[in-house]
Amino acid sequence: MATYIFGIGGTGARVLRSLTMLLASGVEGTSTNNEIIPVIIDYDGDNGDTKLTQDILENYQRINRMCYGTRTHDEHFFCSPVTKLREKVGPERVANFHAGTRFNIFLEDMDETTTFSSHIGYHQLNDASQTSPTRHLLDSLYNTSDSEVSKNGVIKDNPDAELHMKLYHGFRGCPSLGCVVTRQLTHSNELAQIETVINANDRIIIVGSIFGGTGASGIPTLVDHFKNGPAAATFQNCPIGVLAVMPYFKVADDIESPINSKSFIAKAKAALDTYDDTVRQYVNALYLVGDANTAVAFDNNEGGDAQRNEAHIVELVGAMMLIDFMNKPTAAIGHGEVFEFGMRRNPIPPEVIGYNDFFKEETCIPYIDPMARFMLFKTFCQKYFIPGRSQANDIWLLRTDLAQKKDLKNELTKFFKTFEKWIIELEGKKRPLKLFNVNESDYLKLYDYMNLEATNFFNSDAFKEDDIRKALSDANGDVTKGQREMTNQHKFEDKPEELFMVNSNIAMREIFEKKITPFINKN
């Protein structure tokens, strides 16, 4: 099964960033048989969040391809394959793609001079008498202020411009412009190629914010294309979901910016009213997530490389919703169903959200516990595997080529840094979520924020590095008895990276379930 995930705008990219972290953790439902095709759509080609997400996806992709061959593995670290759309359609059709694309769909060239009016050919509408009714209609629908204004002798973008707004940083919170421009998506070469490779058992889910411009306009455009476009018959039996992200942050007031947090709620309500007629009736599932607790504001960056917002719990919850849709049995997928995320308790900032604020069965076990195991794996690799201490101690690892290879260690080092940064950002002041002590090298202190029964946990000999090494050796099988057919080393001797990842997954599960789970506070 393949899942096509369309991440629209900056919010869509940030949700994909959180999704990549969950995939790396081997959350429930991940599998080497569940292929994921992320497709990022953003008119702001220089968007910092989009660039960061694409870098992380490529890092993840390299690790996955190093570690997994043709065998099936379920809920292992990095096990779900991530594929670029151009790779999915194959070399015979990739000639129709624009050069240089990564995980994104190419959109028409926009430079610093491109405006909404130039995009729609506004200046070509007048006749000799200057009486074009279409031009007069546009003048009545949009603010016709110039695209630039002079501020103290400095030329700046005009925050009031609509008809002549510059588009190189997206639609800056104006879905009325976005819905016109995003129509070009339906004519893109890249989108057309999906029709040639998608199967009835594949799935599509579209994610974006509905309180801005790009996401609010892009979601209904894509839904309409898949359900009512020329190739609608191709997608007839393909389940389609939408993740609509409602307001979950605010930005600092800036009179020189067209983006104003005070309008977010009104825009979201308007979008939801519209979606009830234009989206919900066509999709199988509509997921809604947002956060009214937005006391601390983000910097007001209209776009470009400066837009690198810190990770937020809403984006993590959105990623969980994507996985929920991917994991739903076909028989359980309805039509037009609406889903929200539930918590046992919703602390008000600056109070910290912790492990016990989530429901155990619905959230902790399928999503947070795998991240806790990944934390153990990350710390072990950074202390033991990556520095090379393992080579002299573990016979099963020494006898493979993996001990001499640097590529996997380099890629893991890079990914662990991005994971650490993501966790630290989630702990930030805006909406603090604290689950782990990411910078701790002491294994016992990694889990301070999981509401452990601390007295029993820290007074016990919970586990040490030798316990992890022993679990790795046990996962591999006893190589001393000459029963090679009983060892993982024998099973995966053709791919030592796979051997390491399989053994690590088994070992971290054993350590977590035996040494950590008994001390988690169940209250």
Q: What is the pLDDT of residue 515?
A: 84
Q: What is the pLDDT of residues 398-415, one digit of tens each?
A: 767 777 778 999 999 999
* Confidence grade of residue 303 (pLDDT, cut at 50, 70, 90): very low
State the first-to-last Cα distance of the chain, in angstroms, to the nearest integer.
Answer: 38
**Where is pLDDT greater, at 209 or 252?**
209
User: How far is Cα 6 from Cα 241, in angstroms, rounded to an integer?
Assistant: 10
The tokens for 414 are 């890079």
472 Cβ neighbours under 8 A, 6+ residues apart: 394, 503, 504, 507
Which of 104-113, 189-198, 226-235, 507-516 is predicted with the least confidence, judged by mean pLDDT?
104-113
**Where is pLDDT greater, at 3 or 472?**
3
210 Cβ neighbours under 8 A, 6+ residues apart: 216, 219, 244, 245, 246, 267, 268, 271, 272, 275
Q: Residue 40: beta bridge partners? A: 7, 104
* Confidence grade of residue 417 (pLDDT, cut at 50, 70, 90): very high
User: How far is Cα 140 from Cα 214, in angstroms, rounded to an integer?
Assistant: 23
User: How far is Cα 171 from Cα 303, in angstroms, rounded to an integer?
Assistant: 10
User: Is the predicted pLDDT of residue 160 greater than 90, yes or no?
Assistant: no
User: Is the predicted pLDDT of residue 96 greater than 70, yes or no?
Assistant: no
Provide long-range contacts, Cβ within 8 A and 24+ apart, for 357-362: 360/522
| 434, 449 contact by CB (below 8 A) | yes
User: Is the predicted pLDDT of residue 34 greater than 70, yes or no?
Assistant: yes
User: How far is Cα 27 from Cα 20, in angstroms, rounded to an integer?
Assistant: 11
Full strand arrangement of the beta sheet holding 285-289: 35-41, 2-8, 203-209, 240-245, 285-289, 337-340
* Confidence grade of residue 304 (pLDDT, cut at 50, 70, 90): very low
User: How far is Cα 260 from Cα 12, in angstroms, rounded to an integer?
Assistant: 20
Closest CA to 492 of 32, 71, 31, 62: 71
**Where is pLDDT greater, at 150 or 297?**
150
**Once rounded to an integer, what is the mean pLDDT over residues 304-321?**
82
Q: What is the pLDDT of residue 182?
A: 66
Q: What is the pLDDT of residues 441-462, one digit of tens each?
A: 888 788 877 777 655 666 666 6
Unique residue bearing structure tokens 């997928």: 333
What average pLDDT does the chain have?
82
User: How far is Cα 285 from Cα 332, in angstroms, rounded to an integer?
Assistant: 11
User: How far is Cα 211 from Cα 113, in angstroms, rounded to an integer?
Assistant: 26
- Rounded to the nearest angstrom, the gap between the alpha carbon of residue 251 and the centroid of all alpha carbons in its chain is 22
